[in-house]
Amino acid sequence: MSSNVGQNYPYTRETEPERAAAVEQAAARFDGLRDRIASEATPLPVADRDELWWVWACPDDGALGRLHVAGYARDRHAVYAICDNCGKSFLR
């Protein structure tokens, strides 16, 4: 079965330590990702960091990857999320 339906809906949730670890792992794995996050997103405010964060299935790699919140998009009112499987970034 192949379908894009539902891939914009959250897949699960994760705690702040899980989110931070996932972003750190992805940043270490993909060249340039750390710089891309720094240039395209603003860091999450400390006040937000004890929340549960949404996790999405990646729309670009057959939903193998999970999108983790890495910050807020600089130019838009959106969450900036990065994929732990393909290294791409998405606005959510």
Residues contributing to the site for Zn ion (CB under 5 A): 58, 60-61, 65, 83, 85-86
The CB-of-36 to Zn ion minimum distance in angstroms stands at 14
- How far is residue 41's CA from residue 76's CA, in Å, rounded to a whole number? 10
The CB-of-84 to Zn ion minimum distance in angstroms stands at 8
The CB-of-47 to Zn ion minimum distance in angstroms stands at 29
- How far is residue 76's CA from residue 87's CA, in Å, rounded to a whole number? 20
Would you say 6 or 45 has its CB closer to Zn ion? Answer: 6
- How far is residue 64's CA from residue 78's CA, in Å, rounded to a whole number? 23
